[in-house]
Amino acid sequence: MDKQTFNENLGNFRLADALIQRRSIRIFKQSPIPKKLVDTAIYAALLAPSPHGTFPWRFCIINKKKSKTKLGKSMGEKFLEDMKFEGISKKTRENRYQKSLLLIQNSPLIILVSLDYSKMDFYEERSKQHNENMMAEHSLGAALQNLMIALAAQGIGSVWRCAPLFCPEIARDALNLPKKWIPRAMILAGFPKIKPTEKKFIKPRVLIR
């Protein structure tokens, strides 16, 4: 996508409106999302700051029901195991699993976002390498925010889900992604079925020194 097209797609939206419209939406219409709107959102994600200019974010667009179901069931098995280990009752485990699976299956679009650390600086010292990689994690949050705000500006609802963070290898294998891709989050998106409630303004907790 070129800069002119990007400006045309988002040029009529006020930032303040897009920020306010960005809500966690979980109930979508089954209408497909035009590709140009998705492209615009991903282009917006790429405008986020990144460590050393490495742009370590990788995107997988999931719009096939078969892929959604495979991803949901694969991660769901790990989810069930974790809940069992935590002592959660079988009935509650099954209920949570089914809700999670239906949410994934009923989302018109899923954007799974991964990190690729291969361009990051390498250190022999483990703590320094951890901090180096954490820079990529920080930048991922900025990219996700840009992505969701751009979706909201175009009338598309979304919700951030962090399930891949707990089972990155499972999510990667379910979608046959490159080995260097480490799944970190997924954005479920679609046109909202109902108008979301307005988000309350929260008083910031700030210290001045």
Domain residue ranges of the chain, discontinuous segments joined by +: 22-190
State the Cα–Cα distance between residues 121 and 164, nearest whole angstrom: 24
**CA 148 to chain CA centroid, nearest Å:** 8
What are the pLDDT digits (tens) for 172-181?
A: 999 999 999 9
**Does domain 22-190 sit in CATH 3.40.50.12780?**
no
The reported pLDDT for the residue numbered 200 is: 81
Q: Are 201 and 42 in contact (CB under 8 A)?
A: no
Read off the pTM: 0.90
Per DSSP, the residues of 126-161 read: HHHHHHHHHHHHHHHHHHHHHHHHHHHHTT-EEEEE
Per-residue DSSP letter, 120: S
All residue ranges of the chain with pLDDT < 70 are none
State the Cα–Cα distance between residues 82 and 122, nearest whole angstrom: 33
**CA 209 to chain CA centroid, nearest Å:** 35
State the Cα–Cα distance between residues 45 and 159, nearest whole angstrom: 15
What are the pLDDT digits (tens) for 30-73?
A: 999 999 999 999 999 999 999 999 999 999 999 999 999 999 99
The reported pLDDT for the residue numbered 174 is: 97
